[in-house]
Amino acid sequence: MSYNILADSLLQDNEKQLKQYDWKSRWPLIFSQIKKYKPDILCLQELDCDENDLSQLLIQDQYEKLFLKRSQENQKDGCALFYLKQKYKLIKSYNLHLKQEHLFCNSKTRMDKPNICLIAVLQGFNDQNPLIVANSHLIFNKNRGDLKLSQIQLIMITLQSLQLKYQNSRIVWCGDFNLTPNSALYSYISQGQQQFNKLNPKRISGQHSISYHPTDYMQDRLNIQKKCGEFNIQYEQQDLDYDYDLYVQALRCQIDNDTFSFHQAELNPYPIVETPIQFRSVYADLQRAKSKDLHDFYAKWSTYEPLITTMSSSQVGCVDYIWINKLQVSQVLQMPKIEYLIENPIVNYEEGSDHLPLVCDLY
């Protein structure tokens, strides 16, 4: 289960005045969702470091907790990873700080933002192969696609190195990625490569297409579905003569005494960037397998992802994912229908966050 629970410390001033956003009202709803599905592994984004109510109940329910705070002093939130003690034992945990100021994402920009990725290597009591679980929260800024790409690449080369270290391991990579299915960044992760040459870095996350009012966005999607039964994903309009000097392909990772060190082999821009490791999205993978009817709505939707995983004043759409490597998905939790979300925008009396939880069964 992956769930961005909307940290109390990150609430906007207007949200703090609303009763439904009060943490005392929200955390029981969040706990109820977790309790309902009782995941073996739970990845939370935006959990405050001083939060005790939700964490203590999960610990009482036989979960072990790992936590990594964002690497900025005035920020309290971070990523948490809980796992059931009766199902898994911890081999090793790793704290990956994506703020690496000696690295460049292009000729002018360093990797200087305090985002994080919490990684646990788990051993199932009924499984000989290690499971690597990564929980990340990438930069939100919709104009910083170049940095977001570098953060993705940094996590990927780290996971690649860990998979080499732990033989026969599988990977689950969860989180709030702040990128949409209609983006070049999504294509990069899902397809294994992407040509970024001439693409405007302000547009490659796809977030500009989901930045209007929540109800307007969802009603628009609903009207499209009713009218023509399809929702074809197209990249946002790009600035085709944009000079884009990416350096991410040159990133390298070493693990020495369980410590990560990163460097860039050479500072030459690459027009086509390839992923160091292959991932599949669990929601898209399962929906693609089910959509055999060419007239099916999803069969013509090129990404097969949910339409909505978040509703907030800053963005509405799909930005949360669970990616897998060397694993299969058997079922996923279906997202609420758009009609319901239009009538009951989150946060509401059932949903304690402005994100919806993602849940899947893997084997």
Three-class SS of residue 173?
strand
Q: Tens of pLDDT along 105-163?
A: 876 788 999 999 999 999 999 999 999 999 999 999 998 988 999 999 999 999 999 99
282 Cβ contact partners less than 8 Å away, ≥ 6 residues apart: 322, 323, 324, 329, 332, 358, 360, 362
Q: What is the mean pLDDT of residues 224-229?
A: 45
Residue 32 one-letter amino acid: S
| 300 vs 268: CA distance, rounded Å | 38
Beta strand 259-264 with 193-195: parallel, antiparallel or unpaired? unpaired
pLDDT for 272 equals: 73
* pLDDT confidence band for 257 (50 / 70 / 90): confident
HEC letters along 207-244 = HHHHCCCHHHHHHHHHHHHHHHCCCCCCCCCCCCCCCC
Instruction: Give the count of domains, the chain.
Output: 1
Helical segments of 236-354, H only: 282-290, 338-343
Beta strand 131-137 with 100-104: parallel, antiparallel or unpaired? unpaired
* pLDDT confidence band for 232 (50 / 70 / 90): very low
| 111 vs 321: CA distance, rounded Å | 23
* pLDDT confidence band for 294 (50 / 70 / 90): very low
Handedness of CA 115, 279, 283, 202 (dihedral sign): positive
| 308 vs 323: CA distance, rounded Å | 17
| CATH number for the domain harbouring residue 143 | 3.60.10.10
Report which of residues 344 and 47 the model is more confident about. 47
17 Cβ contact partners less than 8 Å away, ≥ 6 residues apart: none
Q: Tens of pLDDT along 34-59?
A: 999 999 999 999 999 999 999 999 99
| 144 vs 348: CA distance, rounded Å | 31
pLDDT above 70 covers what percent of the chain?
Answer: 83
Q: What is the mean pLDDT of residues 261-266?
A: 81
Name the residue range of residue 232's domain. 2-362
